[in-house]
Amino acid sequence: MVNVPSRDEVRKAIVDLLEGRRSREDVDDWAAPWATLDDLPEIDDELVWDTLGWLFGCAMPDPSRPHNNGYLFGEVDFRAWLEEFDAAVARGE
């Protein structure tokens, strides 16, 4: 059985992206099943669900964005995701 990712795991995925410990493709692949498969456990934590949605797509190419190395999302986006995640936790969401 597959366990639903925890808040710590999804936060770590964003930090790993920012710090270069994991590639975009690795994080995207990790988040993808939660957005695309129907036979996984349901995610009750809205913050985890939303964050996995951001992470699924972090490797989406967009050649018109050279400042993001040809990806739709870049470091500025990842920092904003982390800030939004941390703010939601601080608000008790």
Per-domain boundaries in the chain: 7-90
Confidence (pLDDT) at 56:
94
- The model carries a pTM of 0.88
Query: Cα separation of 57 and 72, whole Å?
Result: 8
Q: How far is CA 51 from CA 8, 31, 59, 66, 77, in A?
A: 11, 9, 14, 25, 12
Residue that is written with structure tokens 């994991």 in the block? 22
Spacing of C-alpha 88 from chain mean position? 15
Average pLDDT of each block of 10 consecutive residues along the chain (93 residues)? Answer: 85 96 95 76 86 93 88 94 96 91
Confidence (pLDDT) at 40:
65
